[in-house]
């Protein structure tokens, strides 16, 4: 009969203060020629409330950033799981009236979601992965109000210590944020709390 073996893992309660979260707008073009209209969509907006999934975003951040600290973490970072402390995945973090955008006048033949400002706009060059590139336009708005996020990190990764994760959150979070447009300085965060403890689970 197999013998039960103890497995060790650690979990940490984490609190972040996130600033300048960016929210991308999707677009859909309708009509032709002079009747063509660009319609903006905000899948993160529900009943005038901004919905955000902090645990999903932080999990993605850890997956991308920790291998930069140590390349061997690339294969282990999947053993890190992030959960909301209160069990709510999608959180109502603000009202749409809290958003800011461009001070330029709205363009003609464009239809915007009601209640949000005219978005920022940027032309970027993207690659199709086969050597070809194309230019596309991206739109976004920003929530300037700091957002407090309380999460729990659970780890079964043998060599990823809580101290390493804490240091990464503390230092890298100042430069690389979460949310949309994070590579351009949006959604950077300060680590307000990190309390970790080791657990034992008998398998």
Say if 1 falls within a structural domain: no
Q: How many whole angstroms separate alpha carbon 164 and alpha carbon 6?
A: 23
pLDDT of 6 over the 60 cut = no
pLDDT at residue 65 greater than cutoff 90: yes
Structural domain boundaries enclosing 120: 6-202
Q: Could you give the number of structural domains in the chain?
A: 1
Per-residue model confidence as pLDDT tens digits over 153-162: 999 888 899 9
Predicted confidence at residue 85, as pLDDT, reads 93
> Can you tell me the distance from the alpha carbon of 42 to that of 13, in angstroms, rounded to the nearest whole number?
31
> Tell me: the pLDDT tens digits for 174-199?
999 999 999 899 999 999 999 999 87
- The reply to whether 28 falls in a domain is yes
Q: How many CA atoms does the CB half-sphere of 63 hold within 13 Å?
A: 11
Q: With bands split at pLDDT 50, 70 and 90, how would you rate the model's confidence at 67?
A: very high
Q: What percent of the chain has pLDDT over 90?
A: 65
- Does a structural domain hold residue 198? yes
Average pLDDT over residues 139-152: 96
Average pLDDT along the chain: 89
Please determine, for residue 46, whether its predicted confidence score (pLDDT) is greater than 60.
yes
Identify which has the larger pLDDT, 151 or 137: 151
Rounded CA-CA distance 167/194 in Å is: 10
pTM: 0.86
Determine the Cα angle at 115 with ends 28 and 51, to 5°. Answer: 80
Tell me if 159 is assigned to some domain. yes
Confidence of residue 201 (pLDDT cuts 50, 70, 90): low
Q: What is residue 8's predicted lDDT score, i.e. its pLDDT?
A: 60
Of 30-34, 65-69, 117-121, 194-198, the poorest mean pLDDT is in: 30-34
Q: Please name the residues in contact with 197: beta carbons below 8 A apart, sequence gap of 6 or more.
A: 10, 11, 12
């Amino acid at each position: 009969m197999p013998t039960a073996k103890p497995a060790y893992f650690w979990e940490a309660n984490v609190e972040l203060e996130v600033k300048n979260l960016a929210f991308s707008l999707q677009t859909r073009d309708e009509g032709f020629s002079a009747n063509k209209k660009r319609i903006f969509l905000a899948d993160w907006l529900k009943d005038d409330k901004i919905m955000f999934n902090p645990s999903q975003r932080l999990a993605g951040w850890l997956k991308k950033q920790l291998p930069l600290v140590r390349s061997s973490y690339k294969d282990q970072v999947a053993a890190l799981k992030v959960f909301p402390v209160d069990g709510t995945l999608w959180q109502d973090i603000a009202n749409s009236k809290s958003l800011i955008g461009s001070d330029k006048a709205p363009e003609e033949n464009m239809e915007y979601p009601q209640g949000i400002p005219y978005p920022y706009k940027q032309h970027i060059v993207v690659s199709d992965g086969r050597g070809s590139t194309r230019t596309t336009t991206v739109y976004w708005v920003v929530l300037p109000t700091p957002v407090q996020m309380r999460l729990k990190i659970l780890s079964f990764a043998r060599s990823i210590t809580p101290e390493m994760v804490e240091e990464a959150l503390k230092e890298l979070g100042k430069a690389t944020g979460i949310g949309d447009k994070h590579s351009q300085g949006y959604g950077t965060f300060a680590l307000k709390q990190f309390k970790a403890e080791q657990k034992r689970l008998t398998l």
